[in-house]
Amino acid sequence: MSDIIAAARGFFRGAKGIADAYLMVLRHLFRKQLTEPYPEFKRELPERTRARIVLTRTPDGDERCVACYLCSGACPVNCISMQSEEREDGRRHAAWFRINFARCIYCGLCEEACPTLAIQLTPDFAFAKDDIMKFVYEKEDLLIEGGGKHPDYDFYKHCGVAFGKAGKGERPGERPPVDVKNNLP
Ligand code: SF4
Ligand code: SF4
């Protein structure tokens, strides 16, 4: 007799478990969906998100990068390389500029180090490749049309320029500007 009671209890426990599972499925069927299907749905990431790196331009459309090597010096994994060159108008720029994204850890130190706001990390993280060599980006792959996060900034209009009526080196206590071309030992 006790065996029959134990079997009946087991049967009802199992049936209750199955019924509970079906009820839970039914309840979730009519709930608001929480999962966001990717890539159909793309969440807008904050501007400060650190992903793909770009080289930006001044408001005049000129290259911001002056090939000062500060970003490559700051990079902890040495994935930035370049060659500096002087243009005919005396301004420096990078003859070539290369980032190996297969090594980049997206720390943002290059962006912090850059005095001209040329190099910037963007929220674009979707650039997976099937070949590791495709992660080596050249200057033409990195250079974008606009100014990125700082569209109005132009290094040459903020730094090293005279202000007010007095010229450079003409204010009290100022030394005359150094001619860097003749600043050799
Ligand atoms: S984000 Fe970091 S690791 Fe990547 S290039 Fe810049 S400094 Fe190097
Ligand atoms: S990106 Fe900025 S820090 Fe790097 S070389 Fe150009 S100007 Fe210098």
| 39: preceding bond cis by omega (within 30 degrees) | yes
Q: How far is the CA of 31 from the centre of ligand 2 (A)?
A: 51
Q: How far is the CA of 106 from the centre of ligand 1 (A)?
A: 5
Give the residue whose CA is nearest to atom 4 of ligand 1: 104
For residue 110, which of 166, 59, 72 has the smallest C-alpha distance?
Answer: 72
Q: Which ligand is nearest to the CA of 113?
A: 2
Q: How far is the CA of 43 from the centre of ligand 1 (A)?
A: 24
Give the pLDDT of residue 104.
97
141 and 98 within one domain: yes
Residues of the chain with pLDDT under 50: none
Q: What is the pLDDT of residues 99-149, one digit of tens each?
A: 999 999 999 999 999 999 999 999 999 999 999 999 999 999 999 999 999
**Which residue type is seen at 60?**
D
Domain that holds residue 140: 53-158
Give the pLDDT of residue 113.
97
Paired with 96 in beta bridges are 83
104 inside domain: yes
Give the pLDDT of residue 61.
94
163 inside domain: no
- Say which CATH number the domain at 124 has: 3.30.70.3270
Give the residue whose CA is nearest to atom 1 of ligand 1: 106
97 and 17 within one domain: no
Give the pLDDT of residue 116.
94
Give the pLDDT of residue 56.
97
Question: How many domains does the chain contain in total?
Answer: 2
Residue to mutate, 52, 53, 107, 111, ligand 1, most ligand atoms under 8 Å from C-beta: 107
